[in-house]
C-alpha cells in the first residue's frame, strides 16, 4: 500500500493542482480534507472535483459551531484585535483547521500533511505550528516552498499542469482578489491593494457588505445580550453563537459595517495590505466593549487591555496550542464573570452608534456619578486624596526649587 498524505483542500486551483503534483513527486495516496468553517457556497461540488483530480477520498468536516464556541468566543471576550484593526478572522480559523487535519491524518494512518499556503504568508506558520504542537511526527509538505519540484508560478501554469494531467475543470485565468472566507469574515488581497497609494475598489471587491456611501439612509437599531461575556441574543431573541454571527453579518453588511483597510505586519517580517470585511464581528466586539465599560473596574479593565493585545499577537502568530494562549485566555475568562447585560446600538453608514447599555452587574452608581451631591461621596475627601496622590510631584518640585536656589547662590 502507498503511504497516505492528507491535503488541506479548498477545491480552488492551487489545491487542485497539488493533488497530481503529490502523486507525481511523492507517489502518495492523496486524501483531501476540507474543513467547513463557514465558507458557504465555496464548498459546492467539492467531492466530484476532488475525485476528478485524482484524490482517493474526501472529508468535509462541518466545524462551524466548534469554530464559534471555542475559537471566536474567547477572542470576543478578549476584544482581541491585531494592530488595532484586524479582528483575526483567518488567524482564529487556522489552528482549528490544523487540529482537524491532524485528527484525519491519525485516523487514516497518514505520514504527512500538505497545505497550499505560500512561502510569503502567515498561514504556513499557523498551520505548521498547529501540526507540530499536536503531532510532531507528521511530515509537513508545503509545495510553494519546494523550488525543485513545484515549477508553477501563475494561474496559467497551474491550469496547464492540470490539463496535462487530464484534469479539465472550469478554472480560468482569474483577475480577482486573493480571498479567504469563513463565518467570521472575508479577506481580500491583490490587484490594486498591492499599491498602498491606491484606493480600494469597493464596487468590485465587497462580498459580505456594501460601501457605506451606498448604505441605507435610515439607521437600524440592534441590541446584543451577553451572559458572562458570551453573546446569547439579538433583539431579545436567544440563539446559538453561529446564528448570532450570521444574523449580524447580514445586518452589518447591509449598513456597511466592519470594512477594514489595513497595512499589517506579517509574522514573516514583511508588510502587506489587505481589506477585511467583518460586519458581524465588528458589531459583536463593539457591543462587548460597551458592556465591559459598565461592568469592569478600572484596574481590571486597564490590565485586560494589555492581555488582550498580547493574546491578539499570539493568535495572529499561530501560537494557539501554547501554554501562553491558555494562560491569557484563562485570565480573560476570569474577567467575564459579571459581563452580563445588553448593549443597544444604531447601525448607520459604516458607524455603530451607542444607544445605551444595561447590566444587573453595573458598577455605575448614579449617586456617585451625578453632579448632585449624594450620600456615598463627600467632596471634602478629595482634598486629602489629591494631597497624597500628588505628593511625589510636590516633593520633586520642591527639590528642583532647592537646586535652582543653590545654583543661584553659587553664581553670586
Taking each helix axis from N to C end, the angle separating 241-254 and 279-295, rounded to the nearest 10 degrees, works out to: 110
234 DSSP β-pair partners: 224, 237
Q: Give the C-alpha separation, 248 to 278, whole Å.
A: 10
Annotated catalytic residue 178:
yes
Q: Give the C-alpha separation, 202 to 192, whole Å.
A: 11
Q: Which of 10, 123, 273, 325 is catalytic?
A: 123
Q: Which of 14, 53, 126, 325 is catalytic?
A: 14
Annotated catalytic residue 272:
no
Contact residues for 125 (Cβ-Cβ < 8 A; gap 6+): 267, 268, 317, 318
Count Cα neighbours of 36 within 13 Å in the Cβ-side half-sphere. Answer: 15
Q: How far is CA 136 from CA 103, 113, 133, 154, 276, in A?
A: 13, 11, 6, 32, 33
CB 103 within 8 A of CB 33: no
CB 302 within 8 A of CB 243: no
Q: Which of 29, 56, 155, 178 is catalytic?
A: 178
Annotated catalytic residue 168:
no
The CA-CA-CA angle for residues 7, 126, 327, to 5°, reads 130
Annotated catalytic residue 14:
yes
Q: Which of 36, 49, 94, 181 is catalytic?
A: 94
Catalytic residues: 14, 94, 123, 178
Amino acid at each position: 500500500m502507498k503511504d497516505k498524505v492528507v491535503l488541506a483542500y479548498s477545491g480552488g486551483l492551487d489545491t487542485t493542482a497539488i493533488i497530481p503534483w503529490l502523486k507525481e513527486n511523492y507517489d502518495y495516496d492523496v486524501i483531501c480534507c476540507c474543513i467547513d468553517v463557514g465558507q458557504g457556497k465555496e464548498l459546492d461540488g467539492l467531492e466530484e472535483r476532488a475525485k476528478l483530480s485524482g484524490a482517493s477520498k474526501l472529508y468535509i468536516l462541518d466545524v462551524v459551531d466548534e469554530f464559534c464556541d471555542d475559537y471566536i468566543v474567547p477572542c470576543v471576550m478578549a476584544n482581541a484585535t491585531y494592530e488595532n484593526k484586524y479582528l483575526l478572522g483567518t488567524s482564529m480559523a487556522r489552528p482549528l483547521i490544523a487540529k482537524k487535519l491532524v485528527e484525519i491524518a491519525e485516523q487514516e494512518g497518514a505520514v504527512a500533511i500538505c497545505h497550499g499556503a505560500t512561502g510569503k504568508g502567515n498561514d504556513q506558520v499557523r498551520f505548521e505550528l498547529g501540526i507540530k504542537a499536536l503531532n510532531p511526527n507528521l511530515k509537513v509538505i508545503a509545495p510553494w516552498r519546494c523550488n525543485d519540484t513545484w515549477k508553477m508560478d501563475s494561474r496559467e501554469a497551474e491550469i496547464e499542469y492540470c490539463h496535462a494531467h487530464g484534469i479539465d475543470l472550469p478554472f480560468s485565468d482569474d483577475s480577482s482578489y486573493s480571498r479567504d472566507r469563513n463565518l467570521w469574515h472575508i479577506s481580500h488581497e491583490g490587484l490594486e491593494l498591492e499599491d498602498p497609494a491606491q484606493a480600494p475598489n469597493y464596487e468590485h471587491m465587497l462580498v459580505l457588505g456594501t460601501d457605506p456611501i451606498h448604505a441605507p439612509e435610515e439607521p437600524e437599531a440592534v441590541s446584543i445580550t451577553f451572559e458572562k461575556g458570551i453573546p446569547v441574543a439579538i433583539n431579545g431573541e436567544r440563539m446559538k453563537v453561529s446564528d448570532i454571527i450570521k444574523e449580524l453579518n447580514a445586518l452589518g453588511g447591509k449598513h456597511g459595517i466592519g470594512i477594514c483597510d489595513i497595512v499589517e505586519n506579517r509574522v514573516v517580517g514583511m508588510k502587506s495590505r489587505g481589506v477585511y470585511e467583518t460586519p458581524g464581528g465588528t458589531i459583536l466586539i463593539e457591543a462587548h466593549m460597551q458592556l465591559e465599560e459598565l461592568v469592569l473596574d478600572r484596574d481590571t479593565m486597564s490590565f485586560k487591555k494589555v492581555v488582550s493585545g498580547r493574546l491578539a499577537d499570539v493568535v495572529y502568530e499561530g501560537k494557539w496550542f501554547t501554554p501562553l494562549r491558555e494562560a491569557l485566555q484563562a485570565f480573560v475568562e476570569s474577567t467575564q464573570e459579571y459581563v452580563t447585560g445588553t448593549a443597544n446600538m444604531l447601525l448607520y453608514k459604516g458607524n455603530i452608534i451607542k444607544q445605551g447599555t444595561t447590566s444587573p452587574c453595573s458598577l455605575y452608581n448614579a449617586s456617585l456619578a451625578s453632579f448632585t451631591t449624594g450620600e456615598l461621596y463627600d467632596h471634602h475627601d478629595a482634598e486629602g486624596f489629591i494631597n497624597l496622590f500628588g505628593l511625589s510631584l510636590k516633593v520633586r518640585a520642591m527639590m528642583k526649587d532647592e537646586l535652582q536656589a543653590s545654583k543661584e547662590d553659587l553664581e553670586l
